[in-house]
């Protein structure tokens, strides 16, 4: 990427910019004549705002384009290090899982012992599972009147 220089662009003030606030504060609407004057002042203020924004808009657009280019360059340069970080994180995770594995392996040995004690051909005992919430026994009216957040979970 080529070296981009950034410089602060000072936009000169628009004529009447400083006086508009004083004029608005001094404005007193008391009748139809002053209402017409207030509408004219309002239109002038809106035109002044549009003129100020049009003076800044090209500079803001250039800064936005520069920002987008810098972000694209940043993402391109960070692609390799971010991929390396992902690989390292994966390897750290693998190490942590391998370090914890001996604990689960001893549990596996325990289940092997239980299988060895069971007579051959006998299936392990399993608890019956409920198929849905409707298979639960009905509760009394007192339990149903208890809010769900206060009910004891089983």
Tell me the C-alpha to C-alpha distance, in Å, between residue 72 and each of 15, 69, 78, 83, 98.
40, 5, 10, 17, 39
Question: 12 lies in a domain?
Answer: no
* pLDDT band per the 50, 70, 90 thresholds, residue 8: low
Residues 45-79 have pLDDT tens digits of 999 999 989 989 999 999 999 999 999 999 999 99
> Which residue range forms the structural domain that includes residue 26?
19-112
**Full-model pTM:** 0.47
What token pair was written down for 70?
């810098």
Asked, for residue 87, whether it belongs to a domain, the answer is yes
Tens digits of per-residue pLDDT, 76-129? Answer: 999 999 999 999 999 999 988 888 765 555 555 555 555 566 666 666 666 666
Among left, alpha and beta (phi > 0; psi -120 to 50; other), residue 115 is alpha
Rounded CA-CA distance 95/101 in Å is 10
What count of other Cβ atoms lies within 10 Å of the Cβ of residue 1?
10
Dist. CA 53–CA 66, nearest whole Å: 20
Do 20 and 48 meet the contact criterion of CB atoms below 8 Å apart?
yes
- The answer to the question of residue 9 being in a domain is no
Number of domains within the chain: 1
- Tell whether 137 is covered by a domain: no
Domain annotation covers residue 30: yes
43 within some domain:
yes
129: alpha, beta or left? (left if phi > 0; alpha if psi -120 to 50): beta
- CA 20/CA 91 separation, integer angstroms: 65
Q: Does some domain include residue 2?
A: no
**SS3 (DSSP) at 25:** helix
Residue 8 resides in a domain:
no
Tokens, residue 3: 């070296």
Q: Which residue has the tokens 């370090």?
A: 99
């Amino acid at each position: 990427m080529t070296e981009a220089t950034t410089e602060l662009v000072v936009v000169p003030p628009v004529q009447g910019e400083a006086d508009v606030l004083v004029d608005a504060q001094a404005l007193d609407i008391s009748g139809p004549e002053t209402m017409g004057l207030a509408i004219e002042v309002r239109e002038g203020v809106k035109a002044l705002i549009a003129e100020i924004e049009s003076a800044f808009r090209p500079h803001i657009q250039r800064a936005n384009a520069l920002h987008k280019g810098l972000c694209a360059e940043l993402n391109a340069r960070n692609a390799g290090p971010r991929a390396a970080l992902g690989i390292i994180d994966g390897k750290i995770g693998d190490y942590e899982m391998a370090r914890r594995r001996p604990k689960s392996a001893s549990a596996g040995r325990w289940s092997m012992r239980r299988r060895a004690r069971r007579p051959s051909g006998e299936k392990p005992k399993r608890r019956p599972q409920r198929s849905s919430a409707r298979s639960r026994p009905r509760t009394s009216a007192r339990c149903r009147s208890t809010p769900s957040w206060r009910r004891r979970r089983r």
